[in-house]
Amino acid sequence: MTDSLEQQKPVNIKAQLKNCRSKEETFKTLVTLSKTQPRLCAEDKTEDNKVKGCESAVWLIIVEKDGLRHFKADSDAKLMRGVLVAILSLVEGKTLADIQQMDLRAELAELNLSSYLTSSRNNGVLAILKKVKS
């Protein structure tokens, strides 16, 4: 558990989620991953940074540097923070053009996160994916 609190490498994150064999394991992994993400400070949690359409509050900040996109994100729900860690591990440090080429829904499905893409949580995560690509 000790290393879980440090920033994890994307490959690690992917492997951990891919290896989950039940919804319960995915849940626990997301809880663990949620702790690896630094929280946003209050000033960053503005209305502008909020992703509309999520059932929980989600803030996503995109910074472009030398043509590469860097992300910071937070949510008041723990699982959503875990899902954000997973999403950002797929897109962090890439160019916008590269990100736009990606089939993020398929990649998240491979990480056993498709149920976070369906049901009523659907719109929330889809709104995040849209913002990541915008």
| Contact residues: other proteins, CB under 8 A | 22-24, 26-28, 31, 55-56, 76-80, 121
Nearer CB in complex with other proteins: 96/127: 127
Which tokens hold the place of 46? 């503005």
Taking the complex as a whole, how short is the minimal distance between the CB of residue 42 and other proteins, in angstroms?
17
State the catalytic residue, choosing from 54, 58, 83, 129.
Answer: 54
Q: In degrees rounded to 5, what are phi and psi of residue 44?
A: -80, -15
**Residues 6 or more apart from 5 whose CB is under 8 A from it?**
35, 36
Nearer CB in complex with other proteins: 62/77: 77
C-alpha–C-alpha distance, residues 59 and 88, integer Å:
13
Is 20 catalytic? The answer is no
What does DSSP assign to residue 120? G
Residue ranges with strand state E in the chain: 58-65, 68-75
Taking the complex as a whole, how short is the minimal distance between the CB of residue 57 and other proteins, in angstroms?
9
Which tokens hold the place of 60? 């996503």
Taking the complex as a whole, how short is the minimal distance between the CB of residue 121 and other proteins, in angstroms?
7
Nearer CB in complex with other proteins: 79/126: 79
Task: Please identify every residue annotated as catalytic.
Answer: 54
